[in-house]
Amino acid sequence: MAGKCAFVVRCAAAALSVSLAAASAGTVWGTGASSCRAYVVNAGSQDVSVVDLETMTVLRAPIPVEGDPRGGASSPDGSRFWVSVDGVGQSGQGTIPSVIGQTPTRVHVLDTALDSVLGSPDVGGQPAGVGPRPDGTGAYVACGEERQAWLVDDDGDAASKIYTEGTSSFVAVDAAVSPDGTKVALVDGNASRVRILSTADHVAVAPTITTHDLPRSVAWSEDGAKLVVAGERAIDIFDASSGAELNTKDVLFYSAWDVAVRGSFAFVTQEKEGDGGQGPAGIQVVNLANNTFSLFIPLLGNTPRSILVSPDGTRAWVAMADQDLVREVSLVNQQATNRTVATGSGPVAMGFVAASGGGGGTPIPSWFLPKKLKLSIKGEGRDSLLSSGFFDDGGATVDWGDPVTLNVGGFEETFTLTANTAGTSFKFTGNRVAMTVKPNLRGSSRGLFRLKISKTTLSGLLDPEGEVPLSFEADGLEECTGRVKLARGIYGLGKVRGALLEPAFFPAKAKAKAPAGRSHSLTFTGGFATQGPLPATAGPVTLSFGPTFTRTIPGGSFSGSNGVFTHTAREGATSISVKVDHSREKVTVRTKGLDLGNLSAPTLDVVFDAGGGLGSFRNTVRLGTKGTTRTY
């Protein structure tokens, strides 16, 4: 389950003093932006939601995972997330399957910077709870059907069986690694015990801990001295060295599910079973300093599953499997808030994951993009290509006085540009190539180019109905690339003719006003590559601009058809309008009154997901500055 993960946090810490939470000394925390990204594993919809727990918004379309998800956990640095899945087609609410799982039974390893699956190695039957190693190099997975524990690496390349229990009644349902990384606790959900393994040789060591009936999950205290076990009949506190029971609480009719530890407290989710319970489901707070059950916080809903707790102990977030959402809980006020974020069907596991470049996305470091391109094939030594367009250097410092290399479909030329008198543009004229470059438009990382290739043979390299890959390199400039599809020898940006293939996304223009103490505004246009037919309906669209401004518009909030979708919302002095035109491969966003955050950094990330299922893409750009206005 998620509660025993060593969480990585990107949350803005609240300035509150709380008796529930001590300082989290001894834990491993990241530092970062004010976003608070989390992955939520959905058993019913068989996918992973990506949400921001600070703003309680969905950041992008869910990440599909093949199979029936049972558990999930994040690495200490938040760069990896492991999802255990049973056989395809046994969707549920996170319970242990009552029948033998279908193959394949796998663990999906996700790269959280790219929001994508790196690999999916096979493991034993009925994989469930996941326990990451403190050093992030892998995760242990409890596999119930074959009485096994497996170790899955952090790249999804390999998984190895590291332990098989000899007792036939053993059903492994959860795994948790001690804070020092030397031991892993395996929960036996059938014979009601916890087996401790040495991580050095994966051999069982003392003690073997006997629990109450049907335990489900386990977590170590931050000093490694105690274990908290949550189950269908009780919540138990044990001495990790001797196995002695320090305290127990009967939870009949309030089955306990997941455990999260923060400072000297543990937080255990409890569901309400049938009509036997006389009160609501909720969170049981366990004081590990004196081994007491100090507080119960009620929740709306019946089936809370996974729980995350902020590093300062002021807030918690609970996955509600019966409501398909994550609910925020104030640990200061000891009650649930009215803030929720929708997930997929049946959320069962969660983990904090690292923010990356304004919210993740596949990076596009730099690009070279024709606005127009015309190819003429006239015969040996008489072919030509004319093009003009844009490029972005990704905020790099480029020495335009050194030789540059141009490659168009295999036609390559290296030459030296000459600066004009003002030093604002650079030009080269040769026998076969003429090129002009105008970088740093308005102080930004965006530039213009004009290109003419003539008096050469291109027919063996380029096809008037084929693709044209382009690249451009200079000293200090990472290779800029682009790729377009011609139609009758012509390409025009915006599907005027032909098609854009790369870059998958590019900013075209931006004007951001973010004066201190005054209203902010943003006007942004960009382009993106599409694949396949125009979408009939809109998917969730995400735009991040800079380190803190992120907006995700659900697909159902758009109107339109034939691949052109619009959304407009106004509330008081704030407004936002978004237009996504798949037919012209163009996005336009305008905001007023919405806080853009601090945009003073030399470079910032722009992330976009068009909602068409291709995922999000990230450009790093340098903005020009004029007073309090940043331009691109």
Residue 208 has phi, psi (to 5 degrees) of -95, 120
| Whether residue 7 has pLDDT greater than 50 | no
Residue type, 397: T
Return the residue matching tokens 């844009």: 390
Residue type, 184: V
pLDDT band for 5, please (50, 70, 90 cuts).
very low
For every residue of 554-579, DSSP letters joined together read -GGG-EEETTEEEEEEEETTEEEEEE
Instruction: Output the DSSP codes for 597-624.
Output: ----SSEEEEEEE-SSSS--EEEEEE-E
Percent of the chain with pLDDT over 90: 60
DSSP character string of 151-215:
EEESSSS-EEEEEE-SSTT--EEEEEE-TTSSEEEEEETTTTEEEEEETTT--EEEEEEE-SSSE
| 359 pLDDT higher than 60 | no
Helix (H) or strand (E) holding 479: strand 477-485
Q: Which of the two residues, 273 and 380, has the higher pLDDT score?
A: 380
| Most distant CA atoms of the chain, gap in Å | 88
Q: Torsion angle of alpha carbons 186, 190, 191, 194, nearest 10°?
A: 20
Domain layout of the chain by residue ranges: 37-352, 365-502, 506-631
Cβ atoms within 10 A of the Cβ of 62, count?
A: 20
Contact between 520 and 594 (Cβ < 8 Å): yes
Residue 524's pLDDT is 97
Please tell me which residue, 94 or 564, carries the higher pLDDT value. Answer: 564
Is residue 509 pLDDT above 70, yes or no? yes
The pair of three-digit structure tokens given for residue 129, joined into one six-digit string = 């709870």
As given in the structure block, the two tokens for residue 605 are 């990330």
Residue 89: pLDDT above 60? no
The DSSP line for 86-125 is: ESTT---SSPPPSSPPPSPPEEEEEETTTTEEEE--B-SS
The residue among 413, 419, 478 whose CA lies nearest residue 451 is: 413
Does the pLDDT at position 30 exceed 70?
Answer: no
Give 210-245 pLDDT, tens digit per residue.
999 899 999 999 999 999 999 998 999 999 999 999
Q: Coil, strand or helix: which one is 443? A: helix
Establish whether the linkage from the previous residue to 370 is cis, with ω within 30° of 0: no
248: which 2 tokens? 């127990």
Of residues 208 and 147, more confidently modeled: 208
Looking at residue 478, its pLDDT comes to: 75
Provide the 10 A C-beta neighbour count for residue 482.
Answer: 24
Residue 92 confidence class, pLDDT cut points 50, 70, 90: very low
Q: What are phi and psi of 402, to 5 degrees?
A: -90, 165
Nearest to 332 by CA among 23, 13, 19, 9: 19
The CATH classification of domain 37-352, taken from the options 3.40.50.150, 2.130.10.10, 1.20.58.390, 1.10.1740.10: 2.130.10.10
Name the band, by pLDDT with cuts 50, 70 and 90, for residue 91.
very low
CB atoms closer than 10 angstroms to residue 290: 9
Give the pLDDT confidence score for residue 88 in this predicted structure. Answer: 52
pLDDT over threshold 90, residue 282: yes
Inform me whether the pLDDT recorded for 195 exceeds 90.
yes
Mean pLDDT, the chain, rounded, equals 86
The residues, ordered by sequence, that sit 6+ positions from 626 with a Cβ below 8 Å of its Cβ are 442
Confidence of residue 277 (pLDDT cuts 50, 70, 90): low
Lowest mean pLDDT, pick from 35-44, 58-67, 189-198, 394-403: 58-67
Average confidence (pLDDT) over 265-273: 90
Closest CA to 63 of 75, 81, 76: 81
Tell me which of 43-52, 322-331, 512-521, 529-538 is least confident.
529-538
Tokens of 76: 């200490």
Question: Would you call 401 exposed, middle or buried from its count of C-beta atoms within 10 A (0-12, 13-18, 19+)?
Answer: middle
Q: Kindly tell me if the per-residue pLDDT of 346 is higher than 70.
A: yes
Rounded CA separation 195/182 (Å): 14
- Answer for the pair 352, 78: CB distance below 8 angstroms, yes or no: yes
Q: What single-letter DSSP state applies at residue 497?
A: B
Task: Tell me what the mean pLDDT of segment 100-123 comes to.
Answer: 79
Q: Is the separation of the CB atoms in 445 and 392 below 8 Å? A: yes
61 CB-near residues (< 8 Å, 6+ apart): 539, 540, 609, 611, 613, 615
Q: Where does residue 413 rank: exposed (0-12), middle (13-18), buried (19+ CB within 10 A)?
A: middle
User: Which residue would you say has higher pLDDT here, 330 or 361?
Assistant: 330
Residue 81: per-residue pLDDT: 95
Question: Cα–Cα–Cα angle for 227, 232, 237, nearest 5°?
Answer: 20
> How far is Cα of residue 622 from the mean position of the Cα atoms in its chain?
24
φ, ψ of residue 422 in degrees (nearest 5): -80, -10
Q: What are phi and psi of 442, to 5 degrees?
A: 55, 30
Q: Which residues pair with 401 in a beta bridge?
A: none
Closest CA to 448 of 472, 466, 464: 472
- State both tokens at 329: 């809980």
Token pair listed for 51: 């949400």
AA identity, residue 5: C
**555-564 burial, b for 16+ CB within 10 Å, e for fewer?**
eebbeeeebb
Q: What pLDDT is attached to residue 353?
A: 87
Mean pLDDT of 338-363: 80
C-alpha dihedral, 117 to 122 to 123 to 125, nearest 10°: 110
Q: Is the pLDDT of residue 23 over 70?
A: no
Q: Check if the beta carbon of residue 525 is closer than 8 Å to that of residue 587.
A: yes
Rounded mean pLDDT, 89-110: 55
Burial class (CB in 10 A: 0-12, 13-18, 19+), 155: middle
- Written as six digits, the tokens of 517 are 């103490």
* Coil vs helix vs strand at 381: coil
CA distance 21 to 263: 6
Percent of the chain at pLDDT exceeding 70: 90
Q: Could you tell me the pTM of the whole model?
A: 0.59
Calculate mean pLDDT across residues 85-103.
47
Residue 541 has a pLDDT of: 87
Q: Which helix (H) or strand (E) holds 526?
A: strand 521-528
